[in-house]
Structure 1
């Protein structure tokens, strides 16, 4: 019995590595080809690079949805968004207080909050249908169009690292090979990760939904984690925030939209409607006033984010163990902790901006 478990673990880890490598090659190759075609670098950043950071989530959710593992597909999206805000932003803010640029506050964060409500509303009938997926993709196209319009007006976009657009290589064939090779690696990595993770879940008696919310979600968010931490330590703190906010928007609109549209619809488990969807929405709502106070995310707020992710992980652990306290714990989180957080953050917002130099502190 040990040998199959080791094989499943190796498959999961190899899948994560191959996914990350594939996403990097795809972004490099596709960005270089777009540059050769004369497409403005900023527009390439708004599309190819932004979608590239969500490529692991798209590949995994699509593979899971097409394989009849809707719980993994949905758990990947929801878990990634919760992980992005609470863990990645929390860890990045602990490394260095994070600056929040004005455009993020005016446009992207409100869009993230609104987008976070869509899965909950769409799933009230028990499924994210093919039509729902199509609507999400239409909204994705509209969002990118708005970003492109703002870019043409010279207002820029802080959530995209334009410098990440690759310089064309010596040969267009080599750029094409990078793009195609990256796409192939994404498919192979996604299949290995989903197969390995679900096999481990069955062996451990854990539901596929919990695996999607934890192992798969955290694994596919590794590129965002690395990008935000490095950006924070290098002083590019607006990028650290923008990377997370942009990724959360793309995860719901592009990743969930693609999975639902291509697979014909995804069934929504009751647990997602009762707890995980509301948590994803509440996390977004709590972040809005926090982002607006003092134009920075302080180390204290980062520590609070990490503490909340720990609480969320504890709930999933209780759920996995079928602990009798899980229901009361969930009620306490949804009914007390999150509303209190939103209330405190709203009070901070009403109190007015703090010293904006916090965002530049070491």
Structure 2
């Protein structure tokens, strides 16, 4: 790989990212079908199973990077910058660009008031946690344990809330795309689970290639690993969420769309960063603390405020505003925070 020219390596990297997204999408469909088989409400599915499944690229990238860091085949500083940038970039993409695209293509997206408190406030809170923990320039194993532990506690809270407040009609499967992937019996559940695990394995292996290729590009170009992670891997990693969210919109399952986009922004930092930090710890580049995470926090607050004052409705005008926030974020990131330091 080291003997190829940079353009050839970039092309191979793009192909590897495509494989990463495809394999992740297949595993997502199977996992979603299994979840529907057990009659979980669309909102609960979005916040837990969907968000966890669509976060497979981020989670596997972190676990793969941590493994390579531990065995010495991936530079600690560069590897940390790439996966952290990818993770945080994916979150920013989802709550600005992808949220805007989903609203633009659907016309209007409705949020319930309880969703703003029980889902979006925790989303903003996890970002603030990452800022505070990263102020010392690293995510320690203790930080990882706190993040991962928070995910377990929050998931348990959602489960209790599901049993207390959701109605039977929330369990109806109205999406044809989801229904087509729902197993009919225990045997099909096992087959789909095996396929999901196989695709997850492909994702893990491919994530290793993507990380290695990105590391080579960083070394050759001098561009910050976190910037590449934010711009390229961040967008690629957010594709499963976009596909799942649009499937929900097409079949009027707002719970799936909103739960996936917001839930993934909770899962990414708590499970991916938390799990990776538990394994290898991470070095946190300054641009992530000085720009990416604060921007993610501010855009999350802005999104919450828009929804609160618009009584839970996102319209096309809001869509252009959200997408504009993303492009401002990327332009300023490239201009003032292109190099990790």
TM-score band (shorter)?
Answer: 0.7 to 0.9
SS at match of 1:297: strand
Give the Cα–Cα distance (whole angstroms) in 2 for the partners of residues 94 and 155 of structure 1.
29
Larger displacement relative to structure 2 (254-263 or 225-234): 225-234
Partner of 2:72: none
* Equivalent position to 1:241, from 231, 235, 258: 258
| Correspondence 1:144 to 2:155 | yes
Q: CA deviation at 1:94?
A: 1.9
Give the Cα–Cα distance (whole angstroms) in 1 for the partners of residues 103 and 191 of structure 2.
38
Partner of 1:167: 182
Give the Cα–Cα distance (whole angstroms) in 2 for the partners of residues 239 and 32 of structure 1.
13
- 1:86-165 alignment, distance < 5 Å: 86-95=96-105, 96-155=107-166, 164=178
| Correspondence 1:63 to 2:94 | no
Structure 1's 119 and 157: CA in aligned 2 closer, same or farther, altered over 3 A?
farther
Partner of 1:294: 311
Give per-residue Cα distances to partners, 1:225-248, cap 9 Å, x unaligned.
Answer: 222234335544453333211110
| Correspondence 1:19 to 2:20 | yes
SS at match of 1:153: helix
Q: CA deviation at 1:253?
A: 0.9
Unpaired segments ≥5 residues, structure 2? 69-75
Partner of 2:71: none
CA RMSD of aligned residues (A): 3.0
Q: CA deviation at 1:173?
A: 5.4
Under a length normalisation based on structure 2, what TM-score does the superposition of the two structures give?
Answer: 0.83
Under a length normalisation based on structure 1, what TM-score does the superposition of the two structures give?
Answer: 0.78
SS at match of 2:5: helix
* Equivalent position to 2:336, from 309, 315, 319: 319
Give per-residue Cα distances to partners, 1:21-73, cap 9 Å, x unaligned.
Answer: 3323434555666788xx55457766443311111110112223333310012
Q: CA deviation at 1:157?
A: 12
SS at match of 1:285: helix
- Contact 2:100 / 2:322 at 8 angstroms: preserved in 1? yes
Give the Cα–Cα distance (whole angstroms) in 2 for the partners of residues 7 and 147 of structure 1.
46
Unpaired segments ≥5 residues, structure 1? 323-362
- Contact 2:51 / 2:259 at 8 angstroms: preserved in 1? no
Q: CA deviation at 1:204?
A: 3.2
Larger displacement relative to structure 2 (117-126 or 61-70): 61-70
- 1:216-255 alignment, distance < 5 Å: 216-255=233-272
Aligned residues: 319
Partner of 1:80: 90
Partner of 1:309: 326
Give the Cα–Cα distance (whole angstroms) in 2 for the partners of residues 270 and 157 of structure 1.
48
Structure 1's 90 and 175: CA in aligned 2 closer, same or farther, altered over 3 A?
closer
